[in-house]
């Protein structure tokens, strides 16, 4: 009985990666140097190892050089900061991705801030958060950036609409709300302390679920005709939205998997080529 149209992230990500690969090839030809993304991984958490491998494979497929720095789990914050500073100063590296979350002994924020803003293609630094928030040029956090691309692809203009972001993490909920605000949505942030979540979500023309709680948002919470973006990704390929019931009321909805997820890596690679173009002075790419 699903009525909503699917927002197909897999297909959009594929097209984005094709364009990115063309730009990377062009840039390599013009400058004699391929765009290069450095990935940094501390420890051997299996999920993190898998994510990094996926990102590196996608880089290579797109003609982006992938340089990997694997650090032992016992690496200190100071050592990690040193590695990130060195990469920040290395002219052969255009973008830096620090895989997170990291071990509890690492000061994650200190590590992020050691990434030069012009190489912060994952959009994790204070500077990137502020430029997103103020609508200034800069890199966006990859998942929120991917969400905005999906909305654009499906002709959803946030201006004047009520957008409700459920979740307020530093790299997902908060920047997603700020990007929607910069595009003139009336934005509400909901979270674990929100009293009547269903009532708040029912106000939304655009719902962004980004909280990591399986099927938290049900169809009855969705205003008929709303656009539903599910950035949740929980065990068993389940999103934060109860897909079946929500799809009966939404006009557009992202599937999980195959919605927001694939756009994250596509945005990362696109921003890596952007970074390389800026750093090599090749703005025509």
Q: What residue ranges bind a second copy (CB under 8 A)?
A: 109, 126-127, 129-131, 133-134, 136, 159-162, 168, 170, 174, 177, 181, 184, 186-191, 193-195, 200, 203
Q: Is 167 annotated as a binding residue?
A: yes
The answer to whether 99 is a known catalytic residue is: yes
Rounded to whole angstroms, the Cα distance separating 146 from 178 reads: 14
Q: CB of 244: closest distance to a second copy in angstroms?
A: 27
Residue pair 223/205 in contact by the 8 Å Cβ criterion: yes
Q: Is 9 annotated as a binding residue?
A: no
Q: Spot the catalytic one: 99, 174, 230, 279.
A: 99
The answer to whether 3 is a known catalytic residue is: no
Half-sphere exposure of 195 (CA within 13 A, CB side): 0
Q: CB of 107: closest distance to a second copy in angstroms?
A: 11
The answer to whether 218 is a known catalytic residue is: no
Using alpha carbons, list the distances in angstroms from residue 137 to 39, 182, 188.
23, 12, 24
Q: Spot the catalytic one: 119, 120, 122, 274.
A: 122
Q: Is 281 annotated as a binding residue?
A: no
Rounded to whole angstroms, the Cα distance separating 51 from 53 reads: 5
Longest dimension (CA), the chain: 57
Q: Would you say 60 or 126 has its CB closer to a second copy?
A: 126
Rounded to whole angstroms, the Cα distance separating 238 from 80 reads: 34
Q: Would you say 131 or 143 has its CB closer to a second copy?
A: 131
| Bridge partners (DSSP) listed for residue 234 | 238
| Residues designated catalytic | 55, 99, 122
Bind-site residues for NADP(+): 167-169
């Amino acid at each position: 009985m699903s009525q909503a149209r699917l927002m197909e992230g897999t297909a959009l990500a594929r097209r984005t990666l094709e364009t990115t690969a063309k730009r990377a090839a062009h840039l390599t030809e013009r400058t004699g140097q391929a765009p290069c993304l450095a990935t940094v991984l501390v420890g051997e958490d299996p999920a993190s190892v898998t994510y990094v491998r996926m990102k590196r494979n996608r880089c290579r497929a797109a003609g982006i050089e992938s340089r990997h720095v694997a650090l032992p789990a016992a690496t200190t914050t100071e050592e990690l900061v040193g590695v990130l500073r060195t990469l920040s100063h290395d002219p052969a590296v255009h973008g830096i991705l620090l895989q997170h979350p990291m071990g509890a002994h690492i000061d994650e924020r200190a590590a992020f801030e050691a990434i030069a803003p012009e190489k912060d293609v994952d959009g994790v630094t204070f500077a990137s958060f502020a430029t997103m928030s103020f609508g200034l040029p800069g890199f966006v956090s990859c998942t929120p950036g991917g969400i905005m691309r999906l909305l654009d692809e499906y002709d959803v203009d946030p201006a004047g609409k009520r957008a409700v972001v459920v979740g307020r993490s530093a790299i997902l909920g908060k920047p997603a709300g700020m990007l929607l605000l910069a595009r003139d949505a009336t934005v509400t942030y909901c979270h674990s302390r929100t009293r009547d979540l269903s009532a708040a979500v029912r106000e939304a023309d655009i719902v962004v679920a980004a909280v990591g709680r399986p099927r938290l948002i049900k169809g009855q919470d969705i205003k008929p005709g709303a656009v539903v973006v599910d950035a949740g990704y929980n065990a068993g390929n389940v999103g934060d939205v109860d897909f079946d019931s929500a799809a009966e009321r939404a006009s557009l909805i992202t599937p999980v998997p195959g919605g927001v997820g694939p756009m994250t890596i596509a945005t990362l690679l696109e921003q890596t080529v952007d970074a390389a173009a800026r750093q090599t002075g090749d703005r025509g790419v």
